[in-house]
Amino acid sequence: MAQLASILILVLVSAHSVSWADSGETCVIITGLGGMPEYEENFEKWGASIEEICRDELKAMVHRLDGRTQRRTDILSVFETAAADQNQTVWLFLIGHGTFDGRDYKFNIKGPDLTGSDLGDFLDALGSAKIRAVVATSSSGGLIEELSGQNRVIITATRSERERRPPLFLSFFVEGAGAAEADVNKDGKVSLQEVFAFSEQKLATWYEDRERTQTEHPVLDDLSHQASLAYLSSPPEQAYHSLEARNLAPKRQELERGIEDLKLRKGELPSAEYYEQLEKLLVELATLNERIRQLEGEE
């Protein structure tokens, strides 16, 4: 019987990635289908970064789900578990591709999509818990009205359902969570308000510098004015020992984001041009990474 119980526990835990903590906070992170492997590479990268923040910074109970293999019923089951946790604060991150059919938002996963109604029901089930939801998908602006409420901070990557291109917003969000630059009031912590402002400004500059029309405009909905007190991380003041390495770090960030951006634009470019640009960026990044490792004395 003991062996059977152990097997059952292993099966239940492996159904979705869960790490346990006792901070009074829960994080639910869902990555979805992208339609292209390149899109999904971005989604998985950003999802892993968010999981690290939730685990290491928030010390939260983390539920990580992969919409490429896990279905709506699996996600709804995790929603029930998270609601039953009765933690004081619940973070929800949706990372992937969203659509809006004129009536409801849909988050693309294997099988039937997760809907805006599903998300609204989940937030309602959380009762008096403080909710911080980041919906980093296309068409996510269509969710604001449905999810908005007291004790809720809702961030969407787009301002309306009509902004349908895959957004780059979460790349800047992840950067801001770990950037001392985002800590505007210099209290040693980055709040959701600060990381949003950082992301919004950096995103606009990214499009402007490349003379491209900005196809995504993130929105922060905060009826209870909690975003400035919702702390996400405590970024290190100096990530590098060497001054020269610190000076090279922004260039590395720019190259990494350039690769992410290129992947999201693959369907808009001729195949030969896409792979030519990708190879150039990867070579530049590899060369820069090697230089930084040398400066930091790494093998």
Task: Name residues whose C-beta falls within 8 Å of residue 298's C-beta, 6 or more positions apart in sequence.
Answer: none
Is the CB of residue 179 less than 8 Å from the CB of residue 235? yes
- Per-position pLDDT tens, the chain of length 299: 444 443 333 333 334 566 555 578 999 999 999 888 999 999 999 999 999 999 999 999 999 999 999 999 999 999 999 998 877 999 999 999 999 988 899 999 999 999 999 999 999 999 999 999 999 999 999 999 999 999 999 999 999 999 999 999 999 999 999 998 999 998 999 999 999 999 999 999 999 999 999 999 999 999 999 999 999 998 765 567 788 887 888 888 899 999 999 999 998 899 999 999 999 999 999 998 898 888 888 75
Last residue of a domain, one of 237, 264, 286: 237
Residue 251: which domain range?
240-299
Question: For position 239, what pLDDT does the model report?
Answer: 64
User: Could you tell me how many residues make up the chain?
Assistant: 299
Question: For position 19, what pLDDT does the model report?
Answer: 58
For the chain, how many structural domains are there in total? 2
* 219, 295: one domain: no
Question: For position 15, what pLDDT does the model report?
Answer: 45
Q: CATH no. for residue 16? A: 3.40.50.1460
* 209, 110: one domain: yes
* 253, 286: one domain: yes
* 200, 244: one domain: no
Which class for 278: exposed (0-12), middle (13-18), buried (19 or more C-beta within 10 A)?
middle
Question: For position 146, what pLDDT does the model report?
Answer: 95
Is the CB of residue 98 less than 8 Å from the CB of residue 140? yes
* 144, 126: one domain: yes
* 230, 256: one domain: no
* 25, 98: one domain: yes
* 125, 255: one domain: no
Last residue of a domain, one of 193, 219, 237: 237
Question: For position 2, what pLDDT does the model report?
Answer: 41
Q: What is the pTM of this model?
A: 0.88
Question: For position 7, what pLDDT does the model report?
Answer: 36
Location of structure tokens 């390495």: 245
